[in-house]
């Protein structure tokens, strides 16, 4: 079975992430969306909340599963018998960091390959950080996140 992993914090998931999930799901028998559990990043949403929002957003893609991990991504990939890591790129600025991570993952486990998928240009400006900032200030994020995510952001920021 050809298994890919799309890792990230997804705090919260955006339509940019979903674009990468939808497109990369066509490349694998099974795509695992792997939510990073890293309390040092001080996420807005718990891992469980992020998993629930992702599940709700991808329930129409049958070969996508959601899981969480902490520690080294290559260890999680071994555990899941995945050989490919999918990384989404928005701009050239993402590439340098993602290349560095891909090379380190390759050094840690030479069997792991990383593929880069460019996001749709209409999402090239979009990040979870921007979504949280706009939402926290009362701005509308309905066009950049799924409905459940918009609802949860309003609840977190106590916006009517």
Domains and CATH numbers, the chain: 3-124 (3.40.50.620)
pLDDT at 41 (0 to 100): 80
pLDDT at 88 over 90: yes
pLDDT > 70 fraction of the chain, expressed in percent and rounded: 100
What does the DSSP 8-state code read for residue 72? Answer: -
pLDDT at 40 (0 to 100): 80
pLDDT at 38 (0 to 100): 85
Going by C-alpha positions, the residue among 122, 83, 114 that lies closest to residue 98 is: 114
What are the tens digits of pLDDT across the range 24-83? 999 999 999 999 998 788 899 999 999 999 999 999 999 999 999 999 999 999 999 999
pLDDT at 143 over 90: yes
Q: Which residues contact 44 (CB under 8 A, 6 or more apart)?
A: 11, 12, 132, 156
pLDDT at 20 over 80: yes
- d(CA 105, CA 27) in angstroms, rounded, equals 21
Q: What's the whole-model pTM score?
A: 0.95
Neighbours of 105 (CB within 10 A): 18
pLDDT at 93 over 90: no
pLDDT at 1 over 80: yes
pLDDT at 116 (0 to 100): 97
User: SS3 helix, strand, coil % of the chain, rounded to 5?
Assistant: 45, 20, 35
Where residue 159 falls among pLDDT bands split at 50, 70, 90? confident
Which residues are annotated as catalytic? 17, 41, 90, 128
Of 78-87, 89-98, 106-115, the one with minimum mean pLDDT is 89-98
């Amino acid at each position: 079975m050809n298994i890919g992993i799309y890792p990230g914090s997804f705090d919260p998931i955006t339509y940019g992430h979903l674009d990468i999930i939808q497109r990369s799901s066509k490349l694998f028998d099974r795509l695992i969306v792997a939510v990073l559990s890293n309390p040092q990043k001080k996420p807005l949403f718990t891992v469980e909340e992020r998993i629930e929002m992702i599940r709700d957003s991808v329930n129409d893609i049958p070969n996508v599963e959601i899981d969480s991990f902490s520690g080294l991504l290559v260890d999680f990939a071994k555990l899941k018998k995945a050989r490919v890591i999918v990384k989404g790129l928005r701009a050239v600025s993402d590439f340098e960091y993602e290349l560095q991570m891909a090379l380190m993952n390759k050094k840690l486990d030479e069997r792991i390959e990383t593929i880069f998928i460019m996001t749709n240009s209409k999402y090239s400006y979009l990040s979870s950080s921007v979504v949280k900032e706009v939402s926290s200030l009362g701005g509308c994020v309905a066009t950049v996140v799924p409905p459940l995510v918009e609802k949860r952001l309003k609840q977190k920021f106590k916006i009517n």
